[in-house]
Amino acid sequence: MKIEYSGPFKIRTVEPHQWNSENKFVVDMTDPALVVELLTHPPGDFAISETDPLLKLIDNPDQVGVMVLAGIINPSGLAALGPAGVKTLASSVGTSEKQIKLWVKQASLPAEPTEQGD
């Protein structure tokens, strides 16, 4: 998950990650627990980056935030959901199982190349 720092410091480090002008204050993170910690404390300093693939897929920061709390921080985590996970996530996110299944299907598709060729 791409996490953006917008706090008052020019360099912000939360081991092992560092936000600075070189990375445009956006860091790709893989630890769901650390993502949750950053998004909930301190309030306002960290947010899901607009460039995050999961946010681009879902296009609703509140729903993506609920997914993060459920441990889903990238499209592959969403794509891996089985039927029980779909049902649980639909209830948590406040949307239909049909919508979750659609997102799971979209998350299973190959990623589109970025402008940088990533």
Residues 6+ apart with CB under 8 A from 12: 5, 18, 19, 20, 25, 45
Asked whether 89 and 103 are in contact (CB, 8 A), the reply is no
CB 12 within 8 A of CB 5: yes
CB atoms within 10 A of CB 43: 7
pTM: 0.84
Res. 118: pLDDT tops 50: no
Angle at Cα 11 formed by Cα 10 and Cα 14, nearest 5°? 145
The yes-or-no verdict on residue 110 having pLDDT over 90 is no
Quote the radius of gyration of the chain (alpha carbons, Å). Answer: 15
Model confidence pLDDT, tens digit, residues 52-91: 999 999 989 889 999 998 999 999 999 999 999 999 999 9
Nearest Cα to Cα of residue 50 among 26, 70, 75: 26
Instruction: Calculate what percentage of the chain has a pLDDT beyond 70.
Output: 93
Per the prediction, the chain carries an average pLDDT of 91
| Residue 115 confidence (pLDDT) | 55
